[in-house]
Amino acid sequence: MAVTGWLESLRAAEKTALLQDGRRKVHYLFPDGKEMAEEYDEKTSELLVRKWRVKSALGALGQWQIEVGEPALPGAGSLGPELITESNSNPIFMRKDTKMSFQWRIRNLPYPKDVYSVCVDQKERCVVVRTTNKKYYKKFSIPDLDRYQLPLDDSSLSFAHANCTLIISYQKPKEVLVAESNLQKELKKVKTAHSSDGDCKTQ
């Protein structure tokens, strides 16, 4: 079963954990050299950050690719404040899950709710967002469902709009909820360092 297969690959990965600033940071190193870093709320175990890094063909480490959590500001630190402010007027896409749902937020979308259409594209295994005024279009996958090899279901999808932000939710299938619960049990077995004991590998 695919769900079991992904869990087994997580169990097989070399894991280190660090408790820092109220977050439990876990670093996974897979046999193929791929790295995954996750950050959980220490009290609620809610996933706050997930990012990936792979090595190039020459063995050089690539940039971290964020799957869950706040996106890094492009060029932050090298642009002047006025340029960063300007870029912030563009739509900003990010994923921020809840216990029961995968959730995405697209900021800086000022149009009313009835302008948006959000649906599942079964053929491409992705979620498609479009507006009737043709001002915005985006499609994105749900990597968790791909890893667990689970189907996408239109009835699990919903969306809301408030404060110029489109919030898209996809109810987690029961298989994912069970797998996430099992993973939390597995992570409790990982020896956890504290921030005073040294730096975390994910930094």
Cα–Cα dist 172/62, whole Å: 30
Cα–Cα dist 85/90, whole Å: 10
Cα–Cα dist 96/102, whole Å: 7
Q: What is the CATH number of domain 4-69+89-193?
A: 2.60.40.790
Q: What is the pLDDT along the chain (203 residues), one digit of tens a residue?
A: 466 788 899 989 999 999 999 999 999 999 988 999 999 999 999 999 999 998 877 777 788 999 999 876 554 444 444 444 445 689 999 999 999 999 999 999 999 999 999 999 999 999 999 999 999 999 999 999 999 999 999 999 999 999 999 999 999 999 999 999 999 998 888 888 876 544 444 44
Cβ pair 201, 16 in contact under 8 A: yes
Domain ranges, ordered by start, for the chain: 4-69+89-193
Cβ pair 118, 128 in contact under 8 A: yes
